[in-house]
Amino acid sequence: MHQAACSASAPALADSQPADIRHDWSRAEVADLFALPFNDLLFRAHSLHRQYFDPNRVQVSTLLSIKTGACPEDCAYCPQSTRYDTGLEAQKLMEVEQVLEQARAARASGATRFCMGAAWRCPKPRDMPHVVAMVKGVRELGLESCMTLGMLSPEQAAELARAGLDYYNHNLDTSPEYYGSIITTRTYQDRLDTLEHVRAAGMKICSGGIVGMGEQQTDRAGLLVQLANLPQHPESVPINMLVRVAGTPLEHEADLDPFEFIRTIAVARILMPASHVRLSAGREEMNEQMHALAYFAGANSIFYGEKLLTTPNPRANADMDLFARLGIAPEQRQVERPPENPSPQFYDAAAY
């Protein structure tokens, strides 16, 4: 049964992006991209990637769970739901100084963005002063700040924006058609409403989805169409590979073909050429060759560190070792997003 969202919808935003960045992709066009021969698809994605970004720079983020477990939602992939017995120990909201200690360690390890996630349906009023203090503290450390706290009201989004939050993460997860097979406690429109509230408050958006949940290729296309046809593309587009957790409804889901994952990265790059496309959950299961292909296909952001909220992530030094072997360097802190109507020469991502 659907539960009401935390607030009503915000007004629709005007299109503020240049005309040469498309927001009118059809399902048929995107299906045709997925159907391209693999080499042709990667060549097209990589060529476009070079027009907007330095192909040998990858943005590095660190993710911390600031409040773990006891979430009332029924997302079929999530070990933090109270509805599933996954053995996860719930933890209360961390103290502000504990969070800032982790942020300092992330900065020392080379991260330029510090992301904080809380397992909430939506923040309660009593929580807001604490998360605002976290945002301000992270910003004072010279890091970009990102949060994912569930659904936001327009007022909550405005409060986070005033605190200086750079990014808000709120994934669409999958296509509208497949969404009901994964989540029933909030609607697709609830998620779109939160993205509108974040945009209206002036913050940047981090929004993507999860693949390998039993969906069809048409659903992966449908997810990317939804993101690419937003009035303004998300500045960051995380593509997660399902991490199967015992006790969740998806614990026995079959593996997704690795080449299909790379296709998804490439299509995301073509549809949203000025956005950072992030390799997120599931990297623990990807070998070095798959990582290298993903970077070639247009992925240029990763989560860095030992854990993503509650699931494993490749060891940090393994990422840096692979970067060195591939001639990749971490991107410097982003001040502004790259222009969306670039001239053909390469952009030095470190300049932004």
Show which residues are catalytic: 71, 75, 78, 115, 146, 206, 278
Question: In angstroms, rounded to a whole number, what is the distance separating the alpha carbons of residues 167 and 155?
Answer: 16
The residue whose two tokens read 């005007």 is 14
Residue 12 to residues 5, 114, 259, 311, 325, Cα–Cα distance (Å) = 17, 29, 37, 35, 46
Q: Which residues, 6 or more positions from 268, have their beta carbon under 8 angstroms from its beta carbon?
A: 208, 224, 227, 237, 239, 275, 277, 298
Give the residue ranges of DSSP H helices in the chain: 27-34, 38-52, 96-108, 128-140, 154-163, 176-179, 188-200, 217-228, 258-271, 288-297, 316-326
- Chain centroid to Cα 346, Å, comes to 25
Q: Which residues, 6 or more positions from 23, have their beta carbon under 8 angstroms from its beta carbon?
A: 15, 17, 228, 229, 230, 231, 233
Q: Which residues, 6 or more positions from 141, have their beta carbon under 8 angstroms from its beta carbon?
A: 100, 103, 104, 107, 114
**Are 344 and 51 within 8 A, CB to CB?**
yes
